[in-house]
Chains A and B, each alone.
Chain A
């Protein structure tokens, strides 16, 4: 079941939300757990057993860690981490490592004959594994008491708005909310609805519309020229942003309608003026997860200069691997890590140049920094979208040889011209909205807009969703992770 499916929007959401408020408080977590199980099982019912296994292991790990002394605590933590990552490895990474080991064995003339498992990846496995792990680690660090109610702990891992693609929550932020009684508050409910509507707009009007152009070009590389790949990469940058942030907005909105607050996952990332700022605005729940559980335990920046840069790079490599078992994701993570290192190495030089040209703090500097960051990030999306490194090589080769020959685009634009124009207009609206989101003061001013104007604005967005939305049940890209 997808958030953009009619079944979800017109049946699941109203019924779950409606009955949530109609039921007495003591039955509500049970109701939400039942709804979350149904939501998860509507993909592949039997895979709930895998989720149940993860939940059971981490539930008991949390209890044992709380009761144990230092050394034993550590064993339970390791047991939980190994079990969680082991499951993730079997389902997500085994075939990747197996294929590469097999290729390596071939080169070295070793006898290696392990067969691939070809398992279907349970939807959202990386997300709920990380969320569950974060609970065990926080209990181990004494930042969180172990949850004794198995049902509520299950709900923490399975809470349907964020089960499939986050935001990856922390127990300190989410777990206590399941015990709080939420009254029906019209303002809060409407605020949740606004997020749902805006998320849906991003998904069905922008992401699913531009996905047609992107898929057409990226799925048939030999048929297209460099200029096509430039266009497709530009659209993919907005497709993935609207797809994922649209999902996150909907997740936050759905949770808010029943009184829960989930963390913000995106904050106008394409308004970033550097790659490091981009990563503070993009998929915030994952970036902070890696910061808290990988980067800082590795030593963070409180180590030698070399070690600090090593920590940064390794964290980005692992983040790339988290996204998928393919060399393209690994290089994507590595490239982002390299960008950060490069910005560290050239920081003084860039400052000196900007100062000597008297550009520091000017509007011009802000604009070109934003544009360059967007271009650099867009370049990494090619690695993210392509199926293999050979394909990336081909696409980049095309872009750098005839990417500027815009005339070759005319048959493609001619074929999709209405749709391309609509997509560009919708993207402009998104950029305008993100302009307000990018800055807290501007966002506050936007929030103070009189309610009749807000109602009209959201009515227009609903109208646009119905007029231009694509309801072909296209899956969210991040579900596959």
Chain B
């Protein structure tokens, strides 16, 4: 362990015919993504208050919290839908309220709930208050989506610039598929979609792109190196050659995110779970989605020069 490596993830000279599974990969991916899109519309994402607007209060009561009493006290403030939950310890309560239509009303509501809590259980302290008005939340949502969209665009432009267009299309189609799956994951797990989650999704996209770029890089190199190898074989070779790196990096990012998911605290663990899912999706999509797309798009075009030697082969024999 100090001088020589002790393990290898994949044995040297491994040659798995990934492209045999190209249809299976694409079909599974298409099914998952379609299901995710359906989930996105019903039941839809659990929006955090950043994007939905509303009030989240975390309070600590001097004695064990009397949930029923607190619920009645808050209901007395004329709130339509209030979520009151115990939060971790016995004297900790989380209260969630929908945003009233105007910003001023939101602020008044915070004040009233504060007073109601104090009246219900004197000595209660609000350890966290987040109140986001309706108009601000829609702006935050707009900005978040803008950041996501522009990042995708930048990635497309960059890859287009550095590789041939088939690579760029392959990468961006794969990223969009990854993105939909991440959204499906968020819907299923009820993890809140908020600003931090946009950061997580962007990181997943960045990571996934990174993975694709490494495999693409090898393909480009092999395209120059093996002038006459059929594209399908070449793609398989490139994936196999970079497999140790692909899986290795996934492992390190996975290992770095795991402690965060397990004991990073409420908001960071949601972020980290999303990351962990994204790592698995991003790694597998490099192999099973991005590569087959490239194979379909590039079958004839990327191998234009190769056609001649191949046609010439039988003559030589």
Asked if A and B bind, the verdict is no
A interface residues, Cβ below 8 angstroms from B: none
B interface residues, Cβ below 8 angstroms from A: none
